[in-house]
Structure 1
Amino acid sequence: MSDEKAATSRRAALKFLGAGGGAVAASALLTACNGAQPQSSGGGAGAFPSTPAWRFTFINHVTTNSFFVPTKTGMTDAAKLLGLPDPQWTGSTEGNVSEMANAFSTAVNGNVDGIAIALTDNNAFVEPTKAALAKGIPVIAYNATAPGNYPLTYVGQDLYTSGFQMGQRIAKDITSGLILVGISQPGGNNVQPRLNGITDALKQVAPGVTVQSVNTGAEQANELNAITAAYDGHTDAKGLYAVDAGSTASIAQLISNRALQGKIHAGGYDTLSDTLKGVQSGALDFTIDQSAYLQGFLPVLYMYLYRLSGTLVSPPVTDTGLTFVTKDNVGPYVSANSKFEGGSNTALIDMPKSIPLPAATA
């Protein structure tokens, strides 16, 4: 690509981002930067001007959870693309809000250049966010957002809507009886809205279904025990479901271990390896992909552009989506083993010969 064409392509990508293009625009910018020479007369990434080595910090509620492996990959990839240091990944290993707030304050006091925060609590991060913004540090919410807070934007799934759609999906299989729903952090803004959505949907379309939540805990290693104990106490349950990654993977393990395929309906969230195997084997009817990679990649990109433009390129609210992964479409997830879903494969993934028709625009 010529320098003139590369510069034009980058300008078009930036214009699209500034207009609120969201996740789709990231691929345009990625193409634009990759089409240029590594350095230009501007001295920065692609044709951008030279910048300081901006330091970004991600504050997370379960820093060692497998779900966030692609999120960390995404933030690292974006930083490398833009010539920035690898962002810091910090917070709590078990959903401790005080630990997260302390990490937030440490980042502010350390004068980092941008903060991405999973707003799992309504109150704990209000004052730290105000302090960050007062010092000129942009703050973006990712994975979870909260009312009454002040992030510049949110990058993540519309959690309540995803739960509502999951409830509608459950009602296709179950119209009465008990279902168990695992939740790693009851009340947490990253998962509770999904449970609320499931409950509300079933009240509308399958009022004969009783929803009983199961507190599986924030520590991934203990979730299988919690789900197993709940099922052993309610073997009459018509379905086993979950609103977080670890609980979903645990349900897949339980059904496989007990040979319950075809005897009970099940489903949940995210693309951990046990979950994908469960979908492929029929242990799970479905899982929901929320694009964890984008939840790391896009905040870095947005904070970079916000600083680069002196706040003129305001980060857009970005719903990272909802894809139901079923036995019909799980194949590529399993065979690719891609870094975009937490796998080890970093190679180019071949495009399919045709693309399924998406839902029509409203």
Structure 2
Amino acid sequence: MWNRPFTAAQSGVGRRGIMQTAALGASMAALGGIRRAAAETVSHPRFRLVFVNHVTTNPFFTATQYGLRDAAALVGADTQWTGSENSIAAEMITAINAAIAAKASAIAVCLVDPHAFNDPVERALAAGIPVFAYNADAPAGSGNKRLAYIGQDLFKAGQMMGQRILDLVPGGRVALMIATPGQLNIQPRIDGAQDMLRKSGRSYQIDIVATGATVNEELSKVKAYYLGHSDVKGMFAVDGGTTQSVADTMAQYGLAAKGVRGGGFDLLPRTLRLINDGHLDFTIDQQPYLQGYYTVMEMYTYLMSGGLVGPAEINTGLKFVTKGDVAPYLATKSRYEGSSSEAQFIPRSGPIQS
């Protein structure tokens, strides 16, 4: 089923981009009697954009869905959110094949496997349907012919986490924890973190810990690891569920007070609260809203221009969230971080830190 775009009120008419369009339209009307901005009068097909996800019900992607719907509302497109609930490649391929059969205008897919999606992506391209990767990308040399990747530079994000670990832990035993080793939306992060630690020349004993796909399993594995390695100097995770489990374990055993450091990825509410309480050093915001928003905009410009504009690789970046700047995340519920469905303008006060 296609999702119709939100109305102007639902998609946030107070946003700067829409206000700029409105101001331009008013100026043109005053000068030449034109009632609407040129962008509003361009005729184009009703584009149908399909997003194929590997964990469709995961709360991390709530903000991604808001982002893609907000962008679709601006450009006049319909969207479909489909794929697999449990990262089963065969189910995702079935969704891609269904989108091809339905003659979708464009397809976006999380390429969580290095080779499984090569054939369906080629079939889509052969049918004239552009395919973009978002959130996770096939590695160079995999043979996947997607047009562009929109999402975090995962290896670089891991390197940046590794640098933060170097700042926090001078040496000794360090645990790097990952829910599902080998999965392309998280494995590059742990590779990047290891790269930084190994290049540092310091004496680290690095333990790679696989924690599992469910929160209960992750928490059990993290606790078991700590109880068996009480000499650990730091525990760091590359996925949201394991990060929350690290924070819970740190809190339960009072590890921050013992000098153990910890951190990870994503903005689960409990993770943020435990950072605020001083149990976890940091988490990384990987900008999930932009992964949906920018992907729609790239699809739209590619389709509108007949392929002349783009495709372009887009790194959605990252932000470190620490005790010093976690307060706004806790105080504000917004669709930009997936904690509210309300479209709103969020005023900012104080200096902007780069």
Instruction: Indicate whether the TM-score tops 0.5.
Output: yes
Q: In terms of mean alpha carbon deviation, does 312-321 or 346-355 score higher?
A: 346-355
1:217 correspondence with 2:212: yes
2:7 alignment counterpart: none
Q: Which runs of 5+ in 2 are unaligned?
A: 1-14
Q: In terms of mean alpha carbon deviation, does 325-334 or 136-145 score higher?
A: 325-334
1:51 correspondence with 2:44: yes
2:296 alignment counterpart: 300
1:193 correspondence with 2:188: yes
1:144 correspondence with 2:141: no
Q: In terms of mean alpha carbon deviation, does 304-313 or 48-57 score higher?
A: 48-57
Cα 1:56–1:200 change in 2 (3 A) is same
Distance 2:145 2:225 in 1: 38
Which residues of 2 match residues 2-13 of structure 1 at below 5 A? none
1:115 alignment counterpart: 107
Give CA-to-partner distance per residue, 1:153-173, whole Å, 9 cap, x none: 111111111111111110112
Determine helix, strand or coil for the equivalent of 1:172: helix
Give CA-to-partner distance per residue, 1:265-294, whole Å, 9 cap, x none: 000011121121122111111111111100
Cα 1:118–1:280 change in 2 (3 A) is same
Deviation at 1:112, TM superposition (A): 1.0
CA contact (8 A) 1:174 1:238 kept: yes
RMSD: 2.4
- Residue of 300, 319, 322 corresponding to 1:323: 319
2:116 alignment counterpart: 124
CA contact (8 A) 1:290 1:320 kept: yes
Distance 1:45 1:33 in 2: 9
1:203 alignment counterpart: 198
Distance 2:49 2:267 in 1: 26
Provide the TM-score with structure 2 as the length reference.
Answer: 0.86
Distance 1:68 1:169 in 2: 26
Determine helix, strand or coil for the equivalent of 1:241: strand
Distance 2:20 2:303 in 1: 19
- Residue of 172, 177, 182 corresponding to 1:182: 177
Distance 1:187 1:247 in 2: 15
Deviation at 1:135, TM superposition (A): 1.1
Distance 2:203 2:269 in 1: 33
Cα 1:99–1:221 change in 2 (3 A) is farther
CA contact (8 A) 2:22 2:37 kept: no
Provide the TM-score with structure 1 as the length reference.
Answer: 0.84
Determine helix, strand or coil for the equivalent of 2:336: helix
Cα 1:312–1:94 change in 2 (3 A) is same
1:355 alignment counterpart: 352
Deviation at 1:333, TM superposition (A): 1.6
1:65 correspondence with 2:61: no
CA contact (8 A) 1:101 1:125 kept: yes
Q: Which runs of 5+ in 1 are unaligned?
A: 1-26
Determine helix, strand or coil for the equivalent of 2:172: strand
2:229 alignment counterpart: 234
Give CA-to-partner distance per residue, 1:4-59, whole Å, 9 cap, x none: xxxxxxxxxxxxxxxxxxxxxxx885554455669x99999942523332211111
- Residue of 273, 276, 280 corresponding to 2:276: 280
CA contact (8 A) 2:25 2:37 kept: no
Distance 2:22 2:131 in 1: 27
1:346 correspondence with 2:337: no
Cα 1:325–1:50 change in 2 (3 A) is same
Which residues of 2 match residues 6-21 of structure 1 at below 5 A? none
Determine helix, strand or coil for the equivalent of 2:257: coil
CA contact (8 A) 1:261 1:282 kept: yes
1:79 correspondence with 2:67: no
Structure 2 counterpart of 1:349, one-letter code: I
1:259 correspondence with 2:251: no
CA contact (8 A) 2:21 2:37 kept: no
Q: In terms of mean alpha carbon deviation, does 71-80 or 203-212 score higher?
A: 203-212
CA contact (8 A) 2:109 2:134 kept: yes
Give CA-to-partner distance per residue, 1:220-278, whole Å, 9 cap, x none: 45322222222222222111110011111221222223333332200001112112112
1:334 alignment counterpart: 330
Task: State the identity %.
Answer: 42
CA contact (8 A) 2:274 2:280 kept: yes
CA contact (8 A) 1:174 1:209 kept: no
